[in-house]
Structure 1
């Protein structure tokens, strides 16, 4: 297995370079960047000044000269060819230097670190709750196929699978936040969070988290539950399970020792892919609930053309996705005894 992991780790390098090169190139050619934002701001204000520099615009003259625009391009690092600029950015990236935001002029790594605990809270909670509920529920639905439990839960699962999380978020906020006022309209904590005792702070976090967690859970929960049920039913109809039962092995023992383990293989393959969700969450759900996590940060960066933040978040996503794929292979190997990694 160590040899396999080493080869997969080596493949991560060229893949990561290709993904980051594509992301960097796209951000350079997408219209509307920091220079355009400065020009637009100057035109709207009538008179502005670039702090720390000599670029200024006076009343009645909103256009910058070619030399001033060149200074702006140099200031934001847009004066170099794409590949040369990518090499400089990638060299900083491997040292965890993600650059500086062109909107807030703060280090990108600090901005991500500040919001990481919020996204981790929702990511880890979603992961644990979805797996702890969906696997037992899928197991019960397969054994009691066609029962009232199976039919009633299937309705909820199909509705949840059909509706995107952000649509459910709007419905939950409208009903439970605005009309009934049972839960807050958004945010991670309340305005008086710092003045509360630690136990009250935990209650405040959980109270704010109920509606967003419902939106986060609905998609993964539905997919994992149906995956578990369908694969378990398929394995229950297999010859090896029927043979084990024919030899005198009790039905539930045959399910636990034989069918269940094989049914967990597709679920295990999904395990590593959840790693990326730990960091970023959902852009739209965080926007709807005004949760100050990495998802909201990424959405605002895209809308404001804050390319260093966008590239930093996408680079982290790419790395987490590739590491998650390796973890998925390891999880499948642990569950499926037929899988052997050659050294």
Structure 2
């Protein structure tokens, strides 16, 4: 067992290298990088003239020395491979760089959003399993019944609707849009949260949690429910289940103690994905609900071309996903 985990851990190194290298190259070649974006902002400041950088022409003038300083600041004064090796060497020193947008160390920027994503991700993870495993087991036991057909329709409806789309619809119908004003439009808590009492803070968090958590659960419960149903159905057809019935065990004991227990192995294989979702957050759901977690941070870093933050979140997410896969 020790050597198995050791081999799996050693395989993380080339996987991590490949993920970061491909992502780094994509970010470097995507048009409209941080340097171009900064020059465009200067253009919008009514500067005139003409400057050419990397084949892109801007209609304003800037001193060559200033342009070289900007290239040095964003790292474009070095060859591409040297840029990556420098970034990778800093990662090995646990230095994720400095954010272009927040002018703070990337590690501090990410860790400040970390608790918010853990809060929503962990609650969504627990609720998903608490709903999906019993529902999938019940669907397997009552396979082909009226309950099975109705629950299958609900599950496939949930499977067809992405979590962020469900969240957007929930805001329209329940968030003070054209219909009901039951829940807030987003955010982690209300203004003046710090001045509230203990129980008032809990109530405020619950008030802001219901819709985002519903979007998290809808986006993942359908797949897990179907996986649980299929795994339990396969177990129920095995000979040892028939033997348990012949011994006089009750149906409830057979299903829970024998069929479900042996069906948990394939169910647990998705834990690695959920681990990364718990800690890294969901980009689109946090964007829809304006939750200032790692997901929204990653989304804004891509939009604002804040490449150090983008790569930092990629490092966190990829490591968590690979470790989660090893655990499962």
Please confirm whether the aligned pair reaches a TM-score higher than 0.5, indicating the same fold: yes
Worse-matched range after superposition: 240-249 or 318-327: 240-249
1:103-138: per-residue Cα shift (whole Å, max 9, x none)? 222211111111111100011111111112211121
Q: Which residue of 1 aligns with 2:265?
A: 265
Q: Which residue of 1 aligns with 2:21?
A: 21
SS at match of 1:98: coil
Cα offset for 1:268?
Answer: 1.0
Say whether the 8 Å CA contact 2:47–2:61 is kept in structure 1: no
Cα root mean square deviation, aligned: 1.8
Q: Structure 2 matches for 1:59-74, cutoff 5 A?
A: 62-74=60-72
Aligned length: 316
Q: Take 1:312 and 1:79, find their aligned partners in 2: how far apart are those partners?
A: 21
Q: Take 1:252 and 1:279, find their aligned partners in 2: how far apart are those partners?
A: 36
Q: Take 2:222 and 2:137, find their aligned partners in 1: how far apart are those partners?
A: 13
Q: Take 1:196 and 1:214, find their aligned partners in 2: how far apart are those partners?
A: 25
Structure 2 segments unaligned to the other structure (5+ residues): 49-58
Say whether the 8 Å CA contact 2:280–2:316 is kept in structure 1: no
Cα offset for 1:288?
Answer: 0.8
Worse-matched range after superposition: 280-289 or 234-243: 234-243
Q: Is 1:300–2:276 an aligned residue pair?
A: no
Q: Take 1:257 and 1:210, find their aligned partners in 2: how far apart are those partners?
A: 33
Say whether the 8 Å CA contact 2:68–2:77 is kept in structure 1: yes
1:300-328: per-residue Cα shift (whole Å, max 9, x none)? 11111111111111111111111011011
Q: Which residue of 2 aligns with 1:227?
A: 227
Q: Is 1:156–2:151 an aligned residue pair?
A: no
1:8-54: per-residue Cα shift (whole Å, max 9, x none)? 11111121112111111111111112211221111111359xxxxxx
Cα offset for 1:243?
Answer: 3.5
TM-score, with length taken from structure 1: 0.87
1:252-299: per-residue Cα shift (whole Å, max 9, x none)? 333333322221121111122211001222111111111111111111
Q: Which residue of 1 aligns with 2:173?
A: 175
SS at match of 2:213: helix
Q: Take 2:259 and 2:302, find their aligned partners in 1: how far apart are those partners?
A: 46
Q: Take 2:150 and 2:194, find their aligned partners in 1: how far apart are those partners?
A: 42
1:175-223: per-residue Cα shift (whole Å, max 9, x none)? 0112210000111101121221121111111101100100000122111
Say whether the 8 Å CA contact 2:272–2:322 is kept in structure 1: no
Cα offset for 1:227?
Answer: 1.1
Q: Which residue of 2 aligns with 1:185?
A: 185
SS at match of 1:210: helix
SS at match of 1:101: coil
1:124-168: per-residue Cα shift (whole Å, max 9, x none)? 111111112211121222222234443333222111111111111
Match of 2:78 among 80, 95, 104: 80
TM-score, with length taken from structure 2: 0.91
